[in-house]
Structure 1
Amino acid sequence: MMLNYKAIEIFTNEEARCSGKPVADAVVQYVRDLKLAARCTVSRGISGCYESGEMTTGRLEILSYNLPLHINIVLPADACDQVLDGLDVLVCDGIIAVKDLMVVSHKTASTFFPRQLTVRDVMTKSPVSITADQKLDTATNLLLSSIFTGLPVVDEIGHPLGVITQGDLINRGGLPLRLGILVNSEENDRETIMTALSHKQVHEVMSKPAVCIGDEQPLTKAVELMLEKRLKRLPVVNSENILVGMLSRLDIFTTVMREAPDWKAFHAQKITVNNLHTVRDILRQDTKTVSSKTPLDKVMQIIDGNDIQCVAVVDETNHLVGMIADSDLLHYFKPDPQGVRALFALLTHPLSADLAEKLSSTTAGEVMRTELQIADENMVLEEAITLMTQEQLKRLPVVDKQGHFQGMISRDSLLRTGYKSLRES
C-alpha cells in the first residue's frame, strides 16, 4: 500500500538569515520542534547563480562564498500545511516548493534521547551545595526543601568532595526515618531528630569521593556512568573542576519528555518505529501485594523491607484496587497525633502493646490510596516517563487490559532500558 506524502523543498543560500540565524539552522530547528513524522536534510551546492545575477562557486582556486543550499523536508501529506504555515516567515531569501510523493514505506527508530545533547543542556544549573564541615541538621533541612534527595559537598573553592544523600543520613548519620516521613512528623519529633543530627558533620557520613561528569560530556556518557556506578545523580563540573550543576534522573526524564515525538501518532500514520520499548519490557514482577484485609503492621513491614517502598493492594482476582506508600500512611494517621507517633515509633523504637494493637487492628483497605496513576503494559517508555515526570512519581503500577496487576516500573528501570535501546539503535 502506498503512503501519501509531500516533499517541501527550499532553495536558499548560506548567507540567508532569519533573526540573525542561518536559515538552514532555523528551518531544521523549526521542523524538529514540531515533533512530526518529518525528515529534514540540508545539502550544499558546489556552484550556482541567483536572481540578482550573482555567481557562486566552490572551486578551490576561487574564493568560495554564499553557496546554494537545498533543504528537503519529507513528511506525511496531512502534516504539510502545518509545516508550511511557519516556513514563509523563516525563509526570507529563497524559493519554497511542494510536490507529491508516493512512499512505499516509512521506518524510523526510537533513540530515547537525542545523541547531540550534552550534560550542560540537561543539568540543573547552580545547584544548592554544602561544605564538609557543616552539621547534618543543616544538610537535612536543605534536603527537606529540595526536590532531590542528594546534595553535593564542596570545598571552599567549589571543588566537589562528595555527595550526601538520604541513604547516607540514614545509614551513617543516625536519621531514623526517610525524609518524606520526617517532613510530615510532629514538630517535637522533628526537633528531637535535628538535635541529634547536629552533633555530626557532613564529612563524617557523606559518600566520597565525588563521582563527577564534565559539563561538555555527551549526555549518553553521563547516563552510562550513572548506571555503571548505580547513582541517582552526578555533580557536574566545568574545565576547572568547579561545581556548575547537578544531573539527576529527573533531569534526564524531563528531557526525554520534552524531546520525544508522539509515537502513537506515528503508528496511526502507518510508520514503523523500531527499537520502541513498552513498560512490559521493564516490569518488576517481584512487587509485593496484599489484600484489603491485610493488617497494617504487616503492610508496614513489607514497605520497610523492600527498595520499592510501597505495596500494591489487589482483590481475590488480582485486580489492582489500591496502593500504599509512606505518604499514604502519614495521610491516614495525620489527623490523629497518636497515630503519627505510632508510625514514628514503629521506625524508631520497639512498639508498645497499645500501639501494636492499634496497627494490627487497622487494615490496608482503610489506608490505601484508590485514585491511582496507572500504566497499561503496552504503554511506550516515553509515555510512562511523561506520566511519572508530570506527576513526580518514582514508581508506577502496571496493569493489563483487564486491570490485573502485573508489577511496577521505577525510574532506574526506565533509565536502564532506555539507555540499552539507545545502544542497540
Structure 2
Amino acid sequence: MNIPPSQQLWIYITESDTHRGRSTAMQIIEALREAGCPGATVLRGVAGYGGHHVLHSELAIEVASHLPLVITVIDHAERIAQVLPTLRALVHDGMITITPVEVVHVCHRERDPFPRHLMVGDVMSRAVVSVYPDDSLSTIVSLLIERRLRALPVIDNERRVVGIITDGDLLNRGTQGLSVRLQRCLPLTMQMTEATDLETHPQTAADLMTPNPETLPEQMPLAQAATVMSGHDRKRMPVVGPGGVLVGMVSRYDLLKTVAEGMRQHPEEAIHLPEGAPATIADLMITTSATVLTDAPVVEVLNALMLSPLRRVVVLDSNHTVQGIITDGDVLRRASRRMQPSALGRLVAWLSVSKAPAAIQVEGYDRMASEIMSCPAITIRADASVAEGVRLMMAHKVKSLPVINAYGAFVGMVNRSGLLAALSSPNSF
C-alpha cells in the first residue's frame, strides 16, 4: 500500500485558553475538521506545569480548569502544512510540534452514503414557490424564469399537492417552443416578446400540470428517498407533511450534496455501496456521448447538440483529449451578444423544434467549437470510485462529468442520475 509521507501534530494548551471568547481547544478541533484532517484526539492531563512553573493537578479542585490539554492528529504532511497557519493564530500561550511518523497500516471503517438519522425534511428546500390550478400560463412561465426554477408544485386552497408543472411539461404540451432554461439566455427584449405572446394563451395550471404526482413524506429516510427518486427518474420531488400539505421540495442535488458533505467531514471512512451497485465510474457512465473537434463550425456543434440527450457536447482535440464542453445554453448566450436580431430569431426557432432539421445556416456567427466552449472541463477517470464522482460533481457544481481513460482519452459521460442510482438500494424499503 503506497501511503504518502505523514506527520503527527501535537498542540499543547490548557483548558482555560480562549480565543475571541471561545474555547481554543474547540476552535482547533473545528479548524482541523474543516481542513479535512481524518481525525483528532484531545488528551486531558491529570497534572502539569507550564512556563510560569505553576503546578496544576486534578487533585486541586479549585484549579482543575487550568489542567493541560494535548491535541494530536496524524495526517499527510501536505494537509498539516496547509492548516498550520490557522493553528498558529489560535495558540497564543502554548506550543505546537510536528513529528515525522511512519504509517504501517490503515484500516478505514465503511459507512452508508446517506446518514441514517437524516430525513428528507432535514435537507429539503423549504422556500417553495407554488401555483394554484387556475393560475395562468404567463404567470407560470414568469415564475419559472424569474425565480430560476425547473418545476412548480400545484396546490389547492389547503396547500395539498394536486399536481406539478415542469419545464418539460410545457414543451410536451406545445405551449412553449423553447425551454424555460434557454429562454433565460435570451436578451430581455426577446423575453418580453415571449411573455406578451403567452398572455393570449387560455391554458391554466390545471390544464398543464401532471396530476397527482409522486411525493415524498418529510419523515422519509434519505436512503429511501434516493431509491424513489432514482426509480422514477425524478430530478426533484415535492415533500409533504401530514394530510399531503406541501412543506418543501427536494432534488437530486440536495441528496448528493448531503453525501459529499459526509465525505468531507469523515474522509477516513469509505462509503459502503449497496450490494451489486456499480463499483467505478466506468460501470455507470454513458458511452454514447456527442463530441466534436475543436475546429468544428457552430453548425456542426448545433447538430450534435440536438442529437445529444444530455444537451451538451464534449469538445476534443485530435488526440481525443477533452478540451471543453458546450451546452445549448452556451451557444444561445454567446450568439445573443453577436448575432443580428433576425439571425438570432432563426436560431431560436431552430432550437425550438422537437426534431431539428439536418442543418442550419448561422449567419453572422462564424465561430468554431474552441471559441464557444466552456473550459477547462472537469474530468474524471473511468476507474475512479462513485464517491469521487459525487465529490467532484458537488465541488464544482456541475451536472455531468466527461470520463477519461488511463491515457487521458475521452470515453463517456457520467451525470447526477447515474450517481444517485449507484448510491440507491432497491432494498431500502
Tell me the TM-score normalised to structure 2 length. Answer: 0.69
C-alpha displacement of 1:39: 11
C-alpha displacement of 1:241: 1.9
Counterparts of 1:402-413 in structure 2, within 5 Å, are 402-413=407-418
Cα 1:373–1:111 shift into 2, 3 Å: farther
C-alpha displacement of 1:32: 8.7
The match for 2:307 among 302, 305, 308 is 305
1:221 counterpart = 2:219 = no
Measured in 1, the distance between the counterparts of 2:35 and 2:293 equals 46
Q: 2:322–2:377: 8 Å Cα contact kept in structure 1?
A: no
Q: 2:323–2:375: 8 Å Cα contact kept in structure 1?
A: no
- 1:142-188 Cα offsets, whole Å, 9 max, x none, are 11133441111111110001111000011114211122321122444
1:200 counterpart = 2:221 = no
Tell me the TM-score normalised to structure 1 length. Answer: 0.69
| Counterpart in the other structure of 2:234 | 231
Cα 1:357–1:189 shift into 2, 3 Å: same
1:258 counterpart = 2:261 = yes
| Counterpart in the other structure of 1:10 | none
| Counterpart in the other structure of 2:390 | 385
The match for 2:321 among 314, 319, 332 is 319
Q: 1:35–1:260: 8 Å Cα contact kept in structure 2?
A: no
Measured in 1, the distance between the counterparts of 2:73 and 2:424 equals 28
C-alpha displacement of 1:215: 0.8
Q: 1:113–1:260: 8 Å Cα contact kept in structure 2?
A: no
| Counterpart in the other structure of 2:348 | 344
Q: Secondary structure at the match of 1:240?
A: helix
Counterparts of 1:83-98 in structure 2, within 5 Å, are none
Q: 2:137–2:205: 8 Å Cα contact kept in structure 1?
A: yes
Q: Secondary structure at the match of 2:413?
A: strand
C-alpha displacement of 1:333: 1.1
- Aligned sequence identity (%): 26
| Counterpart in the other structure of 2:252 | 249
Q: 1:150–1:165: 8 Å Cα contact kept in structure 2?
A: yes
| Counterpart in the other structure of 1:165 | 166
Cα 1:148–1:396 shift into 2, 3 Å: farther
Cα 1:291–1:112 shift into 2, 3 Å: same
Counterparts of 1:12-411 in structure 2, within 5 Å, are 37-38=38-39, 106-198=107-199, 199-261=202-264, 266=268, 275=273, 277-334=279-336, 335-336=338-339, 337-348=341-352, 356-358=360-362, 362=366, 364-365=368-369, 367-377=371-381, 378-411=383-416
Measured in 2, the distance between the counterparts of 1:201 and 1:395 equals 34
Measured in 2, the distance between the counterparts of 1:31 and 1:292 equals 44
1:415 counterpart = 2:417 = no
Measured in 1, the distance between the counterparts of 2:352 and 2:392 equals 34
Question: Any stretches of 5+ residues in structure 2 without a counterpart?
Answer: 9-28, 42-58, 60-71, 88-102
Measured in 2, the distance between the counterparts of 1:379 and 1:421 equals 23
Output the aligned Cα RMSD.
4.6
How many pairs were matched up?
Answer: 360
* Paired AA for residue 307 in structure 1: P
Q: 2:38–2:75: 8 Å Cα contact kept in structure 1?
A: no
